[in-house]
Amino acid sequence: MELSQKQAGPASGSPLPAPSRTPTPAWAAADDSVAASTGGLQAYYYDLCMEKSQEIKPFILQILQEVDEEIEKGSVGITLNIAGNSRSLSGERVTGEDFWILCRVLKNNSFINGLDVRYNLLSDVGAYYAAKLLQKQRNLIYLNLMFNDIGPDGGELIAKALHKNRTLKHLRMTGNKIENKGGMFFAAMLQINSSLEKLDLGDCDLGMQSVIAFATVLTQNQTIKGLNLNRPILYGEQEESTVHLSHMLKENQCLIELHICKHDIKNCGMKQLCDALYLNRSLQYLDVSCNKITQDGMKYLADVLKSNTTLEVIDLSFNRMENAGANYLSDALASHNRTLKALSVVSNNIEGKGLVALSQSMETNPTLSHIYIWGNKFDGATCVAYSDLIHTGRLKPDNTDVEPFVVDGHVYLAEVSNGLKRHYYWTPGYGEACSPSSNAGFSLAPRDELESSRTDGCYQVESVLKNKILKTSAVV
């Protein structure tokens, strides 16, 4: 349902009616965590807007009404989702000033422990209020601020607020251009903060200095379990950042998930990473997609897989392993490795022989359950091999990105929307948003205390009590 001023209130231009007030439930009568207004969060938001002469946003009223209804049912651990790219918002966005009011509403609420405001217009103004919220809200464990036009100054405010915060477990800053300056403040924060478990700084224009700072800090930090440093702005051909990240992996035995997509990693850098993986005993999910790794780099990785017993998910998409690289991997998977569960080789310039070799490794390897091959060079033998894997039940249709079909007696493969992280940036408008088949990487390598499923690239965090997640609608 699309909400607008006209739909939510009387005739266009008329003021919105005040929300009806309902009696405070008995279980909340003496609890300071409920909104100051006896009408709940919706009425409290309305009153604050009137008091501060702020525009009342109908879509926020609607969402807060849904939260009030869930609270009345006794729900706890609610994630409030106000995604700016929601179908129902019809172009509406939360601004920094709107977020000021929203933070006031949520400040003392113990029923909400997750806040998702991705794809809005918070800017550094909203970052200021997000920092204040992190200082005062002691129940928030999940905050998604992706793509909100937050710059280096806003990044600094949020990072400094986390120095004293002891509750937030997952922060997503994806797509906010905090640059090297903001990255340095987040790296410094990790020297102090002991509660944050997952930090996503992908597409934030980090510089070489801040990437190296993260690698250095994580040799000591024992709390972070997931880190995303995708697409920094790096200069030079020496792969300095990869060298430092490799050293970190030798020392750190707590990190479970590492994303270093678009780091310009070449074979030399891949060798550094593989040398570190011989010593690392914690990493389960390695993402080195969109780099410049060829068959030689794949040989280093194949050698690691012969002895490594922790890696469960590897994303090699958009490299250039070709047939030789695929053969190296298939040999290791067929004869040695029995822990890898998912492998993505999407768009790696692999031809029929290499793809068939990978399919044959699945026949002898009982553990490898997910494989993604789209974007390579299929021939008839490839199509038949993967069709047979699917039809015999060895490869489940949800665990691959191809589907066989027959035309005039010939087998072909079509692409289907499954993958390791299909919903990193977006969520489908229809169907199951959190389907494991589209986000297999995150369901196969969960963190210890944080269950997560991908929606629009955002981990919808659930506590061990199975939090209820509120959504306004599917996101496009």
Give the tens place of pLDDT for each residue, 65-82: 999 999 898 888 899 999
**Full set of structural domains in the chain with CATH:** 150-278 (3.80.10.10), 300-427 (3.80.10.10)
Q: Which pLDDT score is estimated for 449?
A: 41
**Across 123-188, where does the E strand assignment appear?**
142-144, 170-172
pLDDT digits (tens, 9 = 90+) for 136-179: 888 999 999 999 999 999 999 999 999 999 999 999 999 999 99
Neighbours of 38 (CB within 10 A): 14
198-200 and 226-228 strand pairing:
parallel
DSSP 186-233: HHHHTTT-SS--EEE-TTS--BHHHHHHHHHHTTT--S--EEE--S-B
Mean pLDDT of 280-297: 97
pLDDT digits (tens, 9 = 90+) for 322-352: 999 999 999 999 999 999 999 999 999 999 9
Partners of 207 in beta bridges: 233
CA gap 247, 276 in Å, rounded: 7
Q: Which pLDDT score is estimated for 456?
A: 37
Least confident of 24-28, 118-122, 223-227: 24-28
458-459 and 112-116 strand pairing:
unpaired
3-state secondary structure at position 386 = helix
Averaged confidence pLDDT in the chain = 85
37, pLDDT greater than 70: no
Beta-carbon contacts of residue 19 (< 8 Å; ≥ 6 apart): 39, 42, 43, 46, 61, 65
Token pair of 404, please?
A: 């066989």
CA gap 377, 421 in Å, rounded: 22
CA gap 399, 438 in Å, rounded: 9
Is the CA virtual torsion 362, 365, 370, 374 positive or negative?
Answer: negative
187, pLDDT greater than 90: yes
Q: Which pLDDT score is estimated for 98?
A: 94
Q: Which pLDDT score is estimated for 471?
A: 40
Going by C-alpha positions, the residue among 172, 48, 177, 176 that lies closest to residue 116 is 172
With cut-offs at 50, 70 and 90, classify the pLDDT of residue 439.
confident
With cut-offs at 50, 70 and 90, classify the pLDDT of residue 11.
very low
453, pLDDT greater than 70: no
Q: Which pLDDT score is estimated for 448?
A: 45
pTM of the model: 0.87
